[in-house]
Amino acid sequence: MKSGDPTSLDISQSDLHAMAYTDPLTGLGNPYRLRDKVRQLSTERAEDPAPFTVCIANLDGFKPINDLFGPEAGDEILCQVAHRLKACIPDGATVTRHGGDEFAFLLPLVFERKAAEKVGQMLKEVLSAPFDLGDRNVRLSASFGFAIYPFAGEDFSDILKSAETALYRSKRRGRGQITVYSQEIAQEMKRATQLEQALRNAIIANEVDVHFQPIVNLKDDTVVGFEALARWCDADLGYVSPATFVPLAEERGFIDALSDTLLRKAAEAAMNWPKELFLSFNLSSAQLMDPKTAFNTLAILNRVGLDPRRLEMEITETAMMTDAETAQKIVSELRGAGVRISLDDFGTGQSSLGRLRDFSFDKVKIDRAFVSRLTCDRASEHIVKAIVAMCEGLELEVVAEGIEDFSEALKLKALGCGMGQGYFYGKPADAVATLNLLSDRYRHIDAGPISA
């Protein structure tokens, strides 16, 4: 049987071909288009392998915008992004969309790192202007990963993988970052993955420990509580700082498992201390964005049997900034149960005095940066003095962190600072050593049968 219109088959075939290479939402090419273009270019350059560059860009914080404004608004933004990118890419370059909020570029005339970074900067600026959603404007940023052929890979999948590694590093470093793949970056990412595996295993094997640093009343140098500090020593990697592994656990999504273990261990240790001593525990930024945090914390205290009024949670200004509404809710739930809240590292983050007024805190911890320069720098002295006076007016307790010597302690006492913490008063020590310290001071404590 003969078909009606002999051209209809041709049209639909070319339509099908176009569809197979086109992203239906934005009309840009899709990953197959990029793959074919890269293969074509590398064949052309096989004789004389002149470099070219592949880039992957990923929008920062797109998911919350999608959730907040709805998928139609999300689609609209993606179309506007596509439109801007298409209009600004250099001659001969290709831009494609790789699903979700990810876009890729083939840049045939970008040969080296500096030029790649320059293109990244330009793309970043183009995306930084507000997106018009009719009744409102939305601002976005994007992270970029670049890979240069042939150093970053000789075939399509290798070069794309390198660009992804570079993008992954950009994402880890925060918003709006640009990374060009190199051997060092590949090593850095490999180490992070090794660290992640080792940390996951250490949590399961119960090898992550918690140490305690005394916090003293500066009037009479008596211990009033302890800050719990995570400690991990891996057989192969050696000592790893919590400033490294806590953010890693946050990024890779297992901070809950880590923090729950640490809080349980810390609370168990605190059960052996005199009842008037408090336990101060650090809450990570990711936990301040998780509505389950207050419930989980109180459940652990309940299981261990520690009175919530003996617990203080240390949070930082920067952590609170990210999702202030959720943070506020967690703080008020915890305070409702009797847990006190300390503002940690005060003066170093995105300090806002308004936040001290709007949020309900019980205590402020002055960052070590001010304390360590207290005796040699007039400015630091004035800042500490002002913080102490402000806290007095706001009826907040105040702790100076990182006191390392007698002269700093003396100065803080003279400035009227209520509490102090630092190597001068005691380095972080494990549960057994902490109990020994306490048994020296409180004769009725028996340090004997307690194990770490």
Q: Which residues contact ligand C2E (rule: CB under 6 A)?
A: 213, 228-230, 241-243, 246, 259, 262, 282-284, 314, 344-345, 368, 402-404, 422-423, 428
Q: Minimum Å distance from CB 403 to ligand C2E?
A: 6
Q: What does 347 bind: Mg ion, ligand C2E, none (CB cut-off 5 to 8 Å by kind)?
A: none
Chosen from Mg ion, ligand C2E, none, partner binding at 66 (C-beta under 5 to 8 Å by type):
none
Residues 224 and 215: beta-carbon distance below 8 Å: yes
> Is 344 among the residues that bind Mg ion (CB under 5 A)?
yes
213 binds, among Mg ion, ligand C2E, none (CB under 5 to 8 A by kind): ligand C2E
**Type of residue numbered 104:** A
Stretch that binds Mg ion, among 149-157, 170-178, 187-195, 341-349 (CB under 5 A): 341-349
> Is the separation of the CB atoms in 114 and 122 below 8 Å?
no
Q: How far is CA 333 from CA 86, 155, 293, 363, in A?
A: 48, 54, 10, 17
Work out how close the CB of 447 gets to Mg ion at its nearest, in angstroms, rounded to a whole number.
25
Instruction: State the pairing for strand pair 222-234/238-240.
Output: antiparallel
Q: Are strands 178-180 and 397-400 parallel, antiparallel or unpaired?
A: unpaired
Asked whether 37 and 105 are in contact (CB, 8 A), the reply is no
> Which residues inside 144-203 make contact with Mg ion, applying CB under 5 A?
none
Q: How far is the CB of 203 from Mg ion (least distance, A)?
A: 20
Q: Residue holding tokens 């409702």?
A: 336
Torsion of CA 104, 109, 115, 121, to 10 degrees: -40
Rg (CA), the chain: 28
- Minimum CB distance to Mg ion smaller for 181 or for 278: 278
Given the complex with ligand C2E, which of 21 and 424 has the nearer CB atom?
Answer: 424
Tell which positions 396-415 bind Mg ion, by CB under 5 A. Answer: 401
Name which of 317 and 345 has its Cβ closer to Mg ion: 345
Tokens 């090593």 sit at which residue? 187
Question: Least distance in Å: CB of 67 to Mg ion?
Answer: 32
Quote the least distance from Cβ 422 to ligand C2E, whole Å: 3
Residue placing its CB nearer to ligand C2E in the complex, 225 or 402: 402
User: In DSSP terms, which residues pair with 137 in a beta bridge?
Assistant: 132
Instruction: Name the nearest CA neighbour of 196 among 260, 249, 233.
Output: 249
Q: Which does 284 bind (CB under 5 to 8 A by kind): ligand C2E, Mg ion, none?
A: ligand C2E
Please count the CA atoms within 13 angstroms of the CA of 149 that sit on its side-chain side.
28
* Bridge-based pairing state of the strands 102-107 and 52-60: antiparallel
Closer residue to ligand C2E (CB): 108 or 420: 420
Alpha helices, H only, 217-323: 242-251, 255-270, 293-304, 317-322
Q: Is there binding between residue 317 and Mg ion (CB under 5 A)?
A: no
Q: b/e map of 303-319 (b: 16 or more CB within 10 Å)?
A: ebebebebbbbbbbbeb
Q: Which residue lies nearer to ligand C2E by CB, 176 or 402?
A: 402
Tokens of 201: 């295993």
- Looking at the Cβ atoms of 241 and 352, the one nearer to ligand C2E is 241
Choosing from 42, 177, 213, 282, the residue that interacts with Mg ion (CB under 5 A) is 282
**Measured at CB, which residue is nearest to ligand C2E?**
422
Rule CB under 5 A: choose which of 60, 101, 250, 314 binds Mg ion. 314
Whether the CB-CB separation of 332 and 298 falls below 8 Å is answered with no
Q: Which is nearer to Mg ion, 164 or 401 (CB)?
A: 401
Q: Tell me the CB-side half-sphere exposure of residue 377, using CA atoms within 13 A.
A: 10
Residue 229 site contact among ligand C2E, Mg ion, none (CB < 5 to 8 Å, cut-off depends on kind): ligand C2E
CA dist 216 and 422 (Å) reads: 9
Among the listed residues 231, 246, 225, the one whose alpha carbon sits nearest the alpha carbon of residue 288: 246
Question: Residue 422: which of Mg ion, ligand C2E, none does it interact with, CB under 5 to 8 A by kind?
Answer: ligand C2E
The listed partner (ligand C2E, Mg ion, none) that binds 205, CB under 5 to 8 Å by sort, is none
Min. distance of Cβ 192 from ligand C2E in angstroms? Answer: 17
Nearer to Mg ion, 365 or 411 (CB): 365
Closest approach, Cβ 316 to ligand C2E, in A, equals 7
Q: CB-wise, 104 or 198, nearer to ligand C2E?
A: 198
For residues 409, 415, 416, 417, the Cα torsion angle rounded to the nearest 10 degrees is -50
What is the C-alpha separation between 202 and 234, in angstroms, rounded?
Answer: 8
**Separation of alpha carbons 203 and 262, rounded Å:** 10
Residue 42 or 282: the one with the smaller Cβ distance to ligand C2E is 282
Q: Note whether 372 binds Mg ion by CB under 5 A.
A: no
345 binds Mg ion (CB under 5 A): yes
Q: According to the binding rule CB under 5 A, does residue 101 interact with Mg ion?
A: no
Q: Which does 60 bind (CB under 5 to 8 A by kind): Mg ion, ligand C2E, none?
A: none
80 to 32, 130, 236: CA distances (angstroms): 22, 10, 49
Which residues lie near Mg ion (CB under 5 A)? 282, 314, 344-345, 401
